[in-house]
Structure 1
Amino acid sequence: MSPTLFRQRGYRFYFFSREEPRAHVHVYHPDGEAKFWMEPEIEVARNQGLSAQALLEIEIMIREHEKEIRDAWRRHFPG
């Protein structure tokens, strides 16, 4: 199960269920995909095919939606 958190500017932000306990968010775009850690700070964990400019744009969107992402993480992964 991979619930979509939100879509913005052609990017899909989502979680993979039961992947690992450290808070993170996955991002898909037709040009590539990435994974961003949410803890201890927001940073790129993995990138496949996205430009440095795209990663910066994604990080800005994650920061804009940080509370929403963290709240969704706690709901999806209680405990």
Structure 2
Amino acid sequence: MPTIFKQNGFRFFFYSNDHLPKHVHIEKSGKTAKFFLNPIQLVVSKKFSASELREIRILIEDNLNLIVSSWDEYFNKS
């Protein structure tokens, strides 16, 4: 599970066998979520509050280039 970055206690990552469309997984304290990246859209959330999901969305927006380039680098390597 490659970690892209950690911020405010959230870990943003993807699984080594992930699939399209591009997306990111988030976890914190036993809570999990998954967001599609284009457009940024919540797919599933387990136990995150609405305010935490808003914070996650902002962190994704602020780090979108990093997340997408990390995905491309990891999954497009030969």
Segments of structure 2 that go 5 or more residues without pairing to the other structure are: none
Considering only aligned residues, what root-mean-square deviation do their CA atoms show, in Å?
1.2
Shift of 1:11: 0.3
Segments of structure 1 that go 5 or more residues without pairing to the other structure are: none
In structure 1, what is the Cα distance between the partners aligned to 2:13 and 2:27?
Answer: 8
In structure 1, what is the Cα distance between the partners aligned to 2:55 and 2:35?
Answer: 12
Other-structure match for 1:27: 26
Other-structure match for 1:38: 37
**1:57 is the counterpart of 2:64:** no
TM-score, normalised with respect to structure 2: 0.93
TM-score, normalised with respect to structure 1: 0.92
Percent identity over the alignment is 34
